[in-house]
Structures are given as C-alpha cells and as structure tokens.
Amino acid sequence: MLPRGRDPVFVVNIGVNDVGKEQEFDKAIDFYTQAIELNPTVSVYYGNRSFAYLKSEYFGSALNDASKALELDKNYVKGYYRRAGAYMSLGKFKLALKDFEMVTKACPNDKDAKMKFTECNKIVRRMAFEKAIAVDDCRKSVADTIDLENMCIEEDYTGPQLENGKVTDSFIKELMQNFKDGKKLHRKYAYKILLDVKEMFKKQPSLIDIHVPDGKKFTICGDIHGQYYDLLNIFQLNGLPSESNPYLFNGDFVDRGSFSVECIFTLFSFKLLYPNHFFMSRGNHESQTMNQMYGFEGEVKAKYSSQMADLFTEVFNWLPLAHCVNNRVLIMHGGLFSQDDVTLDEIRKVERNRQPPEEGIMCELLWSDPQPQKGRSPSKRGVGTQFGPDVTKNFLELNKLEYIIRSHEVKPEGYEVAHDGLCLTVFSAPNYCDTMGNKGAFITTEGKTLKPKFVTYEAVPHPNVKPMAYASNLLGFI
C-alpha cells in the first residue's frame, strides 16, 4: 500500500527504483496501479507502468497503458516509445513505425529516436518486399537451395564430425564440449542437422502421442532461452537424454540468451539420435518476428549466415505444437483456449507449417496463460487468452485427461502448481536474462502414476556474453 499522506509520485518512484534493481517488475506494476487509483489523470503513471509491463512481457497491457498515457497527454514522448515497443513485440511494425515517427518529429535532434525510426522502417520495407514477391504455390524452400555437396570441410577444422552423415552418441558428446569451449560446429554439419531434423518434423502430426512404460522415468523441461550452460547443468543433474532417459523440451529454446545457437543444435542433435525418446514442442519464440527482435536471428547471422537464419524459420514452422503422455497428460508451451469444446483431435488437425496466427488454437497453444479466477480474460500479452480453473477442469473432463503442463512464464521457484493441481507451469532458465533471480526447474514423472516431481536448481556461470547481445536495437524502449 502507498503510505497515507505521501505524494504518490515520490513513493512510486522510490518503489520502482528499489525493485528495478532486482527486476521485480510485478512490484513496480503494483506501485503504479496504486498511484493510478489515487490519481488516474497522470500520464507518467501509465507510461511507467507500461514500461514495467514491457519488461514482464505483458505486451497487451503495455500497449493499453501507453495509449492511455497519450490520451492524457499527447505530447508525452515516452508514451510513443512505450507503445512502439509494445507494437514491435507483437509484430505490428507498421504501427510501431508511426509512433517512432511521432518521436522523431517531437525530438528532431534525438539520435536514438532517429535510429529506431530508420531500423523499424527497414523492417517494414523488407516485409512489404517479401510480401510482394511471395507466391505461396511456387516459392522455393530455403532447404532446396542448400548445396551440401559443394561445402568444403577445411583442413584445419578439428571440431565434431557427423559419421556417414549421421548424428551419433560420440558426436553429441564432442559437440557439447566443443560448444562449452566456445567453438563452432562446421557449417556443413550444421546445415545437415537442420535439413534432417526438418524432414523428421514434417512427418509428425501437430499433437504427438508419447507412451511412457510403467515404472519408467520421463522428464519435462520448460523454457531454455539460449542459456546453454544451464542446459548442460540440467543434463548434469538429470543425466543425458537416451532411450532409457527420455526428455521433452517444451518450447522457447532460443532468444534472449546469447547461446541460442549452441542450445538448438544440441537439442536437434538429440532429436535426430533418439527420435522416439526425445521430444520438442514449439514455443512462441520459435517464430520469425520473435527471432528478429529478441536475438536469435542476429546470433545465427553472426555465427553463420542469413541463409541459415531463414532455414531455421522453415524448421521451426514444422515443430509439433503439443504432446500427450499416456493419453492422460497434455503438454503445450502456452495454454488453453478462448473457446470451449476444443478436443485433442482438433489439435492434431491444426495446419502448423506457418508463422503463428494472432488467434485460434495454434496461437493459444503458444501464447495463453492461466489465471486464478474463473472464466477467461483478455491476455496481458496481447496475444492468446487467460484461462481460469473452471476452463482447465472442463477441458480435462472433455478430453479424459488428468492435468496439463505448460511453460511460458518465469516463476520464482522455476515452477508453479495452479488450478487445484490441474495446471502445472515449468520454466527451466534460472536467473532469466541474468537479472530475474529465479530458480530453474524440470519435472520428472513415471509412466504408471504420472505423479509430477519438481527438481529445482540455481543458475551456473557462463562466459562473459550478456543476454540479448544479438537482439534488435529497437528493443531500447526507455
């Protein structure tokens, strides 16, 4: 609560300065909400809460607050910055460009604003060009343009090599050590892995059925977000994937963390080696817009090429959207749906080879979040929906399931049990972005009981490369 008799601007600014050091933006949101309740006519309150929402990845709420701030004060320049940031995070670059243009008009000597306007304009122009030349029926796949035969392996290359073009156990172990030592996989082998895993995913349905035998262990991991050294720690704690130690990684393998290339090639290699015992679900960050903004595209271009970045987009389009374990537990990255009566068969039939749409089953599987109250609410993220315990209960009863597991949200302990134990969240990137201070977690269970057990862990050291090192310059919302 704001202390009685204290000026809300003074108190809120103290609160935000304090919690900002620990990246506890939920507390900042609470402070500004209290200030708005005391005086709902101050544009700065909405603008600063918008910033906290942006940092919490609640892009829809950030957009609403920035718009409210500008409604109160059309000359509030930071409001245009905040709203542009929300629009960009939602992939609405044309609308972001309009707001950056307003900033450049208001502050013609602001070099940062001019740079953001220029960069955003480039994206809008590129998207317009790609749309103009795209002909869906005859557009050539990037995969079809890769000429592996003429890619030479240099004599001085000493890294891991595929054996007869195949991933092996020894290849993966050498690959992980190679990455740990800060070295690259040769581009010929990198392309080969991408081409092979794409063909594997193409043959699979949008909903994968997994059978875990009685008494056998199964592990579910949440978001990794390019934190390669924390991924290695999971394997250290829980054992390497194998036919006797199967895993499911539940989306958001890349972006934000600056070792996303190392993460994704490690995971794809395990998928190729153990196709029936290693599983990967698509997350909302396995998309072109997210990759452009949050670092993965920039990282791939820096470590390999723009052609490979485009190939990754094609591969991500084929990632399965959900997994069902023993016909009893459904696992997806985001959550449930804005409509009742969605069945597992409908999920199986989703045409997923595309960029995530802004609504519908595919969108909600990637973007939705649970809420404590009954019913549904508009998503704070601006995409997907928020669903209550009654929605979860009804979905489970309709589909004869016991509970759902999802990821998508940072949790202080790395996991959360909600909706009377029917909705579990698991997040596997500890100290997210080197700032959040959260633990990471994974879930282990066994085939007969499917009772979830949570294993938590702290972040481990990594080389001195900051998160978001390859992210778009447009992400400077302040």
Considering the domain architecture, whether residues 222 and 122 belong to the same structural domain is answered as: no
Is 138 among the domain residues? no
Considering the domain architecture, whether residues 265 and 386 belong to the same structural domain is answered as: yes
Considering the domain architecture, whether residues 369 and 438 belong to the same structural domain is answered as: yes
What digits encode the pLDDT tens for the residues 428-476? 999 999 999 999 999 999 999 999 999 999 999 999 999 999 998 777 6
Q: Is 285 a catalytic residue?
A: yes
Considering the domain architecture, whether residues 79 and 191 belong to the same structural domain is answered as: no
Instruction: Give the whole-angstrom CA distance, residue 30 versus residue 11.
Output: 12
pLDDT band, residue 17 (cuts 50/70/90):
very low
CATH of the domain at 128: 1.25.40.10
| DSSP structure string for 185-224 | PPHHHHHHHHHHHHHHHHTS-SEEEE---TT-EEEEE-B-
Query: Cα–chain-centroid distance for residue 105?
Result: 34
Q: What is the pLDDT of residue 87?
A: 92
Is 107 among the domain residues? yes
Q: Which domain holds residue 410?
A: 149-475
Considering the domain architecture, whether residues 118 and 21 belong to the same structural domain is answered as: yes
Residue carrying structure tokens 């592996």: 148
Residue positions counted in the chain: 478
Q: Of the listed 186, 225, 277, 285, which one is catalytic?
A: 285
Considering the domain architecture, whether residues 245 and 313 belong to the same structural domain is answered as: yes
Is 382 among the domain residues? yes
Is 141 among the domain residues? no
Give the global pTM: 0.92
Considering the domain architecture, whether residues 109 and 156 belong to the same structural domain is answered as: no
Tally of domains in the chain: 2
Is 416 among the domain residues? yes
What digits encode the pLDDT tens for the residues 231-259? 999 999 999 999 999 999 999 999 999 99
Is 2 among the domain residues? no
Q: What is the pLDDT of residue 139?
A: 67
Instruction: Give the whole-angstrom CA distance, residue 65 versus residue 435.
Output: 24
Dihedrals phi, psi of 10, to nearest 5 degrees: -65, -50
Is 140 among the domain residues? no
